[in-house]
Amino acid sequence: MNTFFCSDYTRQVGEDVIGSATNYQTYILVECPPPWTSEAFNSKWVPNNLQVLVEEVQRARLPIRFLLIANDSSHKVDHTTLLIYHRLEGLSQGYSKHEFKLPNIEQVAVAVRKWLSGKNSGYVIETNVTRDILVCTHGSHDRCCARYGNPFYFYANATISNLDFNNIRLWKSSHFGGHRFAPTAIDLPEGRYYGVLDQDSFQSILTRSGDIQCLNKVYRGWGILPTAMQILERELILQYGWDWFNYKVVGKIIEQSLDNNTILGELTFEQSSGSQYTYQVKLVKDETKTLQVKSSCNATKNLIYVKYAVDSLWLASSKVVAYST
């Protein structure tokens, strides 16, 4: 019997990866050594009080994503790193980071509950780390994340040390969606998602240099934007170049048709100079790119993934800050 790999199939049919970044207000990342079971928080090192908290949050349908993370020294260290990334309101570049160094994983649920209720839980630390990059290696959840995620993680670690970046941490992560785009990654604190990565495109993302067109292939979208609006943001990145990554952005959907085939959206961005531009966009369902695919290796049936194209785009307003000489 031929083993089905969803990531191979996605590449074969040429599914566009854009518009597949998920929208969460908060990411709660808990250091926990693998192996992880298919449902990560049922893994043997995850204490009961944390399982209970995760279930409560899921039942209440809060826009919070819990993930397990680990790196090559996670099983050797005598503390547990807890990272909470919380989305900034209004024009922003993504998320704010709160980092905790806890004596053990049993303390995680207590610290998170305190944080969620606005109380100081202690154990907060400041680090020089400016980026946490998560690579899904959760093979027990989807075999593509083992097949593509693990080797990618290994080489990505080498890429980061070759470039001498000591302010970037790379983590193995439990499943965060889109394994049919393995190897897949989230770049925090921005909250941008990438897929079908290779070391060349990864190096461009790390250094924000090189051929910007590589994002046409690997950029899944920005998690602070509604999924349909992620297509517009990619267009603007290709237009403004790597400089775009320094801009603050906010976007929303204004109106959508009942059949979801047409969407009107608005995206405002602020450049480093303080100049602000607001674009409005009409997005229409792209019949040529909308596909039926299996979303994971174990899926029994195809799902339809609707893709959009920019039909028309116009500048709604601008506030230009003139440089004084």
Express each pLDDT in 48-79 by its tens digit: 999 999 999 999 999 999 999 999 888 888 89
The CA angle 194-69-102, to the nearest 5 degrees, is 140
- How far CA 52 is from CA of 42, 109, 113, 170, 252, in Å, comes to 11, 9, 11, 28, 34
Residues 249 and 206 in one domain: no
**Which residues, 6 or more positions from 73, have their beta carbon under 8 angstroms from its beta carbon?**
none
- State the pLDDT confidence band at 27, using cuts at 50, 70 and 90: very high
Distance CA(158)–CA(259), nearest Å, equals 47
- Position 33 in a domain: yes
- Position 30 in a domain: yes
Residues 235 and 210 in one domain: no
Residues 111 and 13 in one domain: yes
Q: What integer best gives the mean pLDDT of the chain?
A: 89
Mean local confidence (pLDDT), 97-123: 91
pLDDT over threshold 90, residue 97? yes
Q: Residue 115: which domain range?
A: 6-217
- Whose structure tokens read 């397990």? 68
Residues 175 and 309 in one domain: no
- Give the side-chain half-sphere CA count within 13 A for 321: 9
Residues 61 and 183 in one domain: yes
Residue 296: per-residue pLDDT: 66
Mean local confidence (pLDDT), 205-215: 96
For the chain, the distance separating the N- and C-terminal CA atoms, rounded to the nearest angstrom, is: 71
Residues 41 and 187 in one domain: yes
Distance CA(186)–CA(172), nearest Å, equals 11
pLDDT over threshold 70, residue 132? yes
Last residue of a domain, one of 217, 243, 277: 217
Residues 187 and 233 in one domain: no
Last residue of a domain, one of 192, 217, 242: 217
What's 20's domain CATH number?
A: 3.40.30.10
- Tally of structural domains, the chain: 2
- Position 324 in a domain: no
Between 83 and 126, whose confidence is greater? Answer: 83
Nearest to 196 by CA among 10, 25, 44, 70: 10
Residues 90 and 171 in one domain: yes
- Position 1 in a domain: no
Residues 34 and 170 in one domain: yes
Residues 240 and 287 in one domain: yes
Residue 322: per-residue pLDDT: 75
- State the pLDDT confidence band at 299, using cuts at 50, 70 and 90: low
Between 180 and 113, whose confidence is greater? Answer: 113
- State the pLDDT confidence band at 324, using cuts at 50, 70 and 90: low
Distance CA(103)–CA(123), nearest Å, equals 9
Distance CA(247)–CA(257), nearest Å, equals 30
Residues 207 and 308 in one domain: no
Residues 123 and 64 in one domain: yes
Instruction: Point out which residues pair with 125 in neighbouring strands.
Output: 99
Tell me the three state secondary structure of residue 99: strand
Residue 38: per-residue pLDDT: 81
